Structure formats: structure tokens, C-alpha cells
Amino acid sequence: MGMLDDVKVLDFCTNAAGPVASAEMADYGAQVIKIESMDGGPERTYVPILEGKSLTHAWVNRGKKSVTLNLKDPRGVEIVKKLAKNADVLIESNRPGVMDRLGLGYKDLKEINPKLIYCSLTAFGQTGPYAQNPGFDMMGQALSGMMSITGEKGGKPLKHGIALADYFGGFNAFAAVMTALHYQRRTGKGQYIDVSLIQGMIHLNSTIDRLNDGVLCQPNGNHHSGLCPFGCFNTDRGESVIICAPSAKAWETVAAAMDRPDFLTDPEYNTINARVKNMDRIIGEIEAWLSSFPSLKEACERMTQYHMPYCMVNNDQQVVEDPQVKHMGYIVQAPTADDIKQPTYQTRGCNALFSEAPGEIRKAATLGQHNHEVLEELGYGPEEIDQMMEEFRQKLKK
């Protein structure tokens, strides 16, 4: 039994952020009905591709039922209203005002179902000077200040290597909906939730707090601007390792491993402020020490012996093979959709490990796979559904 198996969700999201939120709900048992356009959302075309089908779609739409509707047709709107009557959650990622114009905004559906939790996920929020602008992940990273502090020291702004704003935005919406769901269960009241990518990125950007010190942070490469040693260190052979020693106790392990007792007495090394001031020198000394070993393996053995806080810099393949990741069982073989012959694909597991009711990564749906199942439960006949779908398609072409 899934922890959310009594929760019904309507998903009107495309791309990544919104679908990630509802997919998290599906992992823990929620019944998620994804309302798609007649030709499907753009995420059905995103790489990686297996047998001509998107594995991004398989991931962000896992565990959901797919129903295709033309919402410019009054019958499509009527179907949504019937589904909303018994839904707990609706999540949508359209530009502000789109759902209102369709007659499916929060005020419209609240009249039908006062318990409905209605979550809108956009790049910039529902109101304000940017609200109607098209928005994407990279814009959230840029406007939040995140890109201004990312990059080589003295270099130009750099985006994160993944769609950070999208994926965190999805988790942010998931957390907001779960909070509202708890309130709904206690009070019987639904509510409207406005979640934006820029808000999520600003929440992550802790360097904004440095403005209280009068400090405007700049890119500092692979090293923390206010802690030392705290970053990525390289050998002269191009090998890399992370070393993080922000506390006095951790710094003692560095001094012991490197056989440098002066690190604990020299005023240019023995406080965090002094080490930050002399960061370039300390980085050079640590990298020279790492390079003195025949290979990084021997250096790591030494660091392990002295309990230094360090780890390797894994590439994607090394993540899959990492002993800790294997122990956690976090990389799984998930089922593919019914239109792919290969039965499984390698992907990430559920976001947390629960002892009583673990989640499950389930298969994504083919486009419109559940039209009959869902609409027949609303009282539509099989032939009526087929005819309506054909008319929806024809109307879309006009």
C-alpha cells in the first residue's frame, strides 16, 4: 500500500518541473491523471531516446495515467471539471491566466470542489513584471544570482550542469502540495499555491545572506569563498578529489595526514579566517602533497587512515558503480512504457528510503493510454470516447 494511495491528482504540466512534482506523488502511490494535448507534451521528445521514445518522458511522467483532451473544446473542459470534483490536487505549469481563460482556474474549480489543492508552477510567479514572460530553467538560475557566483575565479557566469531550477522547482512544488495536503486533511480546506523557479533558486542561493556582511560574492571556482580547505583539489596528473575541512577538528586531520603540525600553530593557518585569507597558498600546498603520491589511490588511503573528510569526483558511470550508491540501491532498473520492447531502463530510485511504505518507480504511460479507463468511470461509453477523441484530433488540425 502506498502512503498516498488515497490521493487523486490532476496533472496539467509539461517539460520537467511540474511533471517532476506529480511524479514524486505517483512514486508513493498517488493516482495521477496526466491531462495531455492530443499530440503530447514536449518532454515526450527529449533525450535520451530509446527505440525512438524519450526516457526523459519515462522518468518525469512515471507512474501516471495519460488522458488526451482538447481543452479548446467545451467537452474537454467538462471532462476536467468532472475529474476535479473528486480530485485532491491539481498541478499546472501554464503561463499565468491560461487556465482562467479555459474556465479551469482555481476560482472556477474551487466552486466545484472546495477541498481542491491547486498548485501553479511557473518560472516567475503569477504576478509582477515578468509573470507573462516565457521562462526556462536557465533563467531561474540567472535571475536568482546563482550563475553570478558559479564559475572559475575571475571568470564569467556559468550555469549548473543539470536543469537545477526545474528539478528543484519540482521538489519545491511537491513539498508545498504535501504541506497543503496535511492542512486539507485536518481542516477540509483546499487552497491555491503559487510556486516559481526563481523563488526556488533564490531559496537555494545562500550567498545572498553575505550582503549582510557587505560582501557581494563572485565566482570562486571549485573552492568555497568563505571556508578553507573546502573544494576540489587536483594532482599534477589531472586526478581530482574533494576535501572539506571547515572545522578545527577536521583541520586537525589534515594537519596529521600531511604531517604538518605547524598548520595548528602558525597564525596564517590555525584559524578559518586566516586560511581563507591564505587560500591560494593552502590549495597549492595540498595539491603538491597529493601529487607527491604515486597515484591518487595512495593519497586516498592516507586520508582514510587519518579520517580526513574527502571523496572522489565521480563521473556518471562511476556514480552507478560507487559502493555507497550500490549499497543504498538508489540506481534501479525501472519498467519502460508499453511501446518500448526493452523491458527496463537504468535510472534513479525514489527520493527517500522509507522503512514502512517505500515508494516505487513505475512505468510511464503511452499517449492517451488511459482514455477509456478514466472516461468510462465518468460515464462515457466506449464508442462515444472514440468518436470524441477523433473529433478532438480533427479540431486540433483546423
Active site annotation includes 166: yes
DSSP label of 337: P
DSSP label of 366: P
Whole-angstrom Cα distance, residue 229 to residue 280? 10
Longest CA–CA separation in the chain, Å: 84
C-alpha cell at 220: 570562486
Which listed residue (166, 236, 259, 266) is catalytic?
A: 166
* Angle, CA of 60, 360 and 344, to the nearest 5°: 70
User: What secondary structure does DSSP assign to 56-108, as a single string?
Assistant: HHHHHTBT-EEEE--TTSHHHHHHHHHHHTT-SEEEE-SPTTHHHHTT-SHHH
Residue 196: strand pairing partners: 122
ω into 48 cis (within 30 of 0): yes
Count of residues for the chain?
398
The Cα-based distances of 293 to 39, 233, 238, 296, 313 in angstroms read 58, 14, 13, 7, 18
User: Cβ atoms within 10 A of the Cβ of 22, count?
Assistant: 32
Under a CB-based contact definition with an 8 Å cutoff, are residues 349 and 326 in contact? Answer: no
Which of the residues are catalytic? 166
